[in-house]
Amino acid sequence: MKERCWVCWLALLLIAGVAVSAKAAAAQCSAQDVVRRDSLPPATISPSSRPRLIQSAAAIPTWKTIQVGNVANRSAFLAALDAADCGVGDAVQDIFVRPEFTVSALKAELDLVLVSVAELGVTIDRPPLARIYGRALRLGLALAPPETGPQLRLQYFDQPLGEFLNLGMDPISGRNGEMDIFVVANGGAGLLLLSQDASARMQFFLSSQFVFVRQTNVKAAQK
């Protein structure tokens, strides 16, 4: 009788383990579905808490400094992400094999800034990517080299839960010819490197957050 009870308990534990694993996998898929279907959910901005408009890149503090040029090639990036247990979206792997995704052979540091669309001074609701980039470039920010996406993922393990960061980069053709940018995210099922539709039809919320680099050191990373 006792042996039968232990068998029952073991069966229940196995069933629970399968359920937890399935839930985690579903959560990771949901995170990618959300980021590809739309950007971050809209935030209600009251008049008293409106973000301060950025007047120039010089007024933006450095958010994070990362290293580039310390990974040998594209395969090494995938191996490092796998070793760090970071989830990688299917479309991201497609981007990795494109010729536009280059890996720097020169070690350098990149100073990254983190800004919302609203902070950039974009006033229209649901702006396209071109409008966001145009404003960022006028302020003196620069687009990031593509490898900044996986590098940031590998150097940002303390990312807050629920944070989705769009990388300000030249879009790269991914699966089915779609133009994508990287998204560094913590969707609740672990740390993720995803892709975001960057086509002209894609619109972003004013609360969406973007990572750009300072023009003073982006050239060193691209040599």
- For residue range 29-86, what is the model confidence (pLDDT) as tens digits? 334 444 443 344 443 343 334 567 888 888 899 999 999 999 999 999 999 999 999 9
Interval 183-197 mean pLDDT = 94
- The letter for the amino acid at 162 is G
Q: Which of 48, 62, 47, 77 is nearest to 150 (CA)?
A: 77
Please give the Cα distance from 88 to 194 (Å, whole number): 6
Residue 53 DSSP class: P
Task: Record the tokens describing residue 105, joined without a space.
Answer: 């052979």
Task: Record the tokens describing residue 97, joined without a space.
Answer: 């094999």
> How far, in Å, are 7, 11, 51 from residue 1 at the CA level?
10, 15, 67
8 A C-beta contact, residue 156 and residue 112: no
Residue 161: pLDDT band with limits 50, 70, 90: very high
Please give the Cα distance from 17 to 123 (Å, whole number): 48
The pTM assigned to this predicted structure is 0.76
Residue 154: pLDDT band with limits 50, 70, 90: very high
Q: Which residue has the tokens 């990373």?
A: 221
- For residue range 23-39, what is the model confidence (pLDDT) as tens digits? 333 334 334 444 443 34
Residue 5: pLDDT band with limits 50, 70, 90: very low
Q: State the burial class of residue 24 (Cβ atoms within 10 Å of its Cβ: 0-12, 13-18, 19+).
A: middle
Q: What backbone phi and psi angles, to 5 degrees, belong to 134?
A: -60, -45
- The letter for the amino acid at 77 is F
55 three-state secondary structure: coil
8 A C-beta contact, residue 179 and residue 171: yes
pLDDT at 83: 97
Radius of gyration of the chain (CA): 20
Residue 219: pLDDT band with limits 50, 70, 90: very low
Task: Record the tokens describing residue 117, joined without a space.
Answer: 């669309």
- The letter for the amino acid at 107 is K
205 three-state secondary structure: coil
